[in-house]
Amino acid sequence: MSNEDEDLARAIALSLQETKRKPDLIDLDSDDDEEAQFQKDLERALQQSSVETSQSQSQLQPAMASSSSQPATNVFLSERAQLEKERRERQKRLRPSTSRKSSEGEESDDEEPPAKRHQVSTSRSSHLRSNVSSSSKILGSTSTPTIEQVFWNGELRQTATQHAEPRKDGQPVFRLTEVLGKRSEVAFAIMSSYSLDFPWIYEFFDRNIPVIMVAQPDPSGEATIKNVLPNWIRTTPFLRDGRGCQHMKFMLLFYKTGRLRVVISTANLIAYDWRDMENSVWLQDIPLRSKPIDDRKVTDDFPAILQRTLHFVNVKPALVAMISDNHPDLPLKSIDELRQKWDWSNVKVQLVASFAGKHQTWPRVIETGHPRLMAAVRKLGLRTGKSKQSKDLVLECQGSSLGIYTTQWMNEFHWSARGESAEDWLDSTKKSREKLPYPSVRVIYPTKATVQQSALGEQGGGTIFCRRRQWAAKNFPRSHFHDSRSKAGPVLMHSKMIIAMLQENALAGKRKQGQGTDTEDETDDDIEVIEPAQGWAYVGSHNFTPSAWGTLSGSAFNPTLNISNYEIGVVFPLKDSDEANRVACFERPPRKYAVKDEPWIQEESIHHQPE
């Protein structure tokens, strides 16, 4: 124990009897000064940690949320002490966090749990280290007041990165402090992330602010809730057999003025994603209604899907526990109040979520995964129809992790992306679906050369995932791959985006003139851009993989949709190619892989750190 800790321990001894009589969680109704209250919690945490370092962690179960239940005090204090110790050490060394505690990478064959990801070692790279002022410039200071901006109509921007400041394309960016808003105005937050650095994100909030964090479950995949910091509860959703991952990145930020900010992001809540990698953020501010409404009939608009999402990711018991423990005056007391208390009439984007699990019957299937994308496309009025003689849908699917692609799955996804019913897809025979050629899909993924030429080189590619066995698989659509290059500059992207454009099918036009036959093989190179082109864009946590979007089976009468991950994103219309070029995070048109091009495969890098 350090001298500082010993001093605290002696102070604790003088007030030990008083401490035993007080509740162990912060009481926001107390008249004590906020900083003094924090120090009291810290003292208890240090004392508890020194006495009970071998104590096993316990979980705060939903049943413990009643007022008569005992909070998970020992767990909270022990963990808080460790987190505070780490924070002190970071401040003494005056260095930023340069490596991720956990590496995000979705395993496309759905077999390997997220904890087993490969990564490139970055912790000892001298050119990856940045000074404190550089980090503050990109992330925004955790202590400096933020100039408040309000986005009543919604806003999509890329995040700032230290190696592309300012951006080459001149477009505005979001910093984390700008996304969170003025910290003194935040009253409550619900957030979700796959990779997490609790001590880091904790510094961006005032210490008395209640926060619910949706996180990745442990290898058991069990749904749990647990106190992890003063006023912070971590909740995890259920994962069948512990497979897949809780991959959603979202924030619900409730302000003291009554305003609610909804944030859909591709960035994890770790410094690396907000400083070194480029990510995408969509957000919109939602006004408080003058009077609550009681409308529970709508089941497929934005707030309805958002409420369903919160139920799936286990927020309800965490909310009950938070209110019961010490926060009876939360601005949100039940999930249903989202629709009732806030006015969503100005939200024009469509919300698309994937819920891990096995979904059966059409009412369930249509709520999640790529069938939900189909419903969103229809709501935007962008259904293509089944005729091959008019328009085709060209997809540009960009992400940081690849799947094991088959022609059947890619056509299945493309069918939904066109706004066509999965019922019609399943109505055809499985044998005929397996023989279809690959559809008009361009997979946007960085080449090895692009990663090597980026500002951080190969050591910056530790969260971009493709495996040799995927790339080398028989019939893998290698001819559909295009390079992923940021419009910002020499940085790598962790964004996940789909640009979908309705375009004239040049080959179909030839058929109309009698110049072609129905046996000619169509590829994405047969599609030419005819202005004006309409389309849509997707931004969110979904990579272009079966794990994220789901795989259909069964029959048109009795469908089954299997999904491995929890994902969330938004879909909105594009009026033409100019708007698509502006919205896309990658350079358009993307350059098709040349014969000599290889995808970035981090397990083959000289910097790869084996498990």
DSSP assignments along 466-530, one per residue: --HHHHTSTT--GGGEE---BSSSS--B---EEEEEEEEBHHHHHHHTT---TTSPP-GGGB---
Catalytic, out of 247, 327, 370, 414: 247
Residue 592 phi, psi (nearest 5): -70, 145
Look up tokens 């939360």; give the residue.
Answer: 330
- Predicted pLDDT at 146: 61
Radius of gyration of the chain (CA): 25
Residue-averaged pLDDT of the chain: 80
- State the pLDDT confidence band at 415, using cuts at 50, 70 and 90: very high
- The DSSP element (H or E) to which 379 belongs, if any, is helix 369-379
Q: How far apart are CA 508 and CA 522, in angstroms?
A: 10
pLDDT at 150: 97
pLDDT of residue 550: 98
d(C-alpha 504, C-alpha 533), whole Å: 9
247 is catalytic: yes
State the average pLDDT over residues 58-73.
Answer: 34
Q: In this predicted structure, what is the pLDDT of residue 17? A: 36
513 CB contacts (<8 Å, ≥6 apart)?
A: none
Give the long-range contacts of residues 230-234, CB within 8 A, separation 24 or more.
230/25, 230/26, 230/38, 230/41, 230/76, 230/80, 231/25, 231/26, 231/28, 231/207, 231/326, 231/327, 232/198, 232/202, 233/60, 233/318, 233/321, 233/322
Out of 17-31, 47-61, 97-111, 337-351, which region has the weakest mean confidence (pLDDT)?
17-31
CA 450-456-460 angle, to 5 degrees, is 80
Give me the phi and psi of 340, to 5 degrees please: -75, -40
Q: What are phi and psi of 275, to 5 degrees?
A: -125, -45
Task: Look up residue 568 and give its two tokens.
Answer: 């969330």
From the list 327, 370, 482, 494, the catalytic residue is: 494
Separation of alpha carbons 162 and 416, rounded Å: 38
How high is the pLDDT of residue 430?
A: 87
Binding-site residues, in ranges, read 249, 496
Distance CA 19, CA 17 (A): 5
Query: The tokens of 400 are what?
Result: 């940081």
Is pLDDT larger for residue 406 or for residue 145? 406
**Would you mind telling me the total number of residues written for the chain in this entry?**
611
| Segment (H or E) for 554 | strand 551-554
Please tell me the least confidently modeled range out of 260-274, 383-397, 419-433, 458-472. Answer: 383-397
Q: What's the token pair of residue 340? A: 């009732």
In the annotated binding site for substrate, the residues are 249, 496
| Distance from C-alpha of 599 to C-alpha of 466, rounded to nearest angstrom | 7
Mean pLDDT of 419-447: 93
How do residues 214-250 score in pLDDT, each as one tens digit? Answer: 999 999 999 999 999 999 999 999 999 999 999 999 9
Mean pLDDT of 446-455: 98
Using CA atoms, how far apart are residues 555 and 259, in angstroms rounded to an integer? 45
Burial class for 567, CB neighbours closer than 10 Å (0-12, 13-18, 19+) = buried
Highest mean pLDDT among 229-243, 388-402, 523-537: 229-243
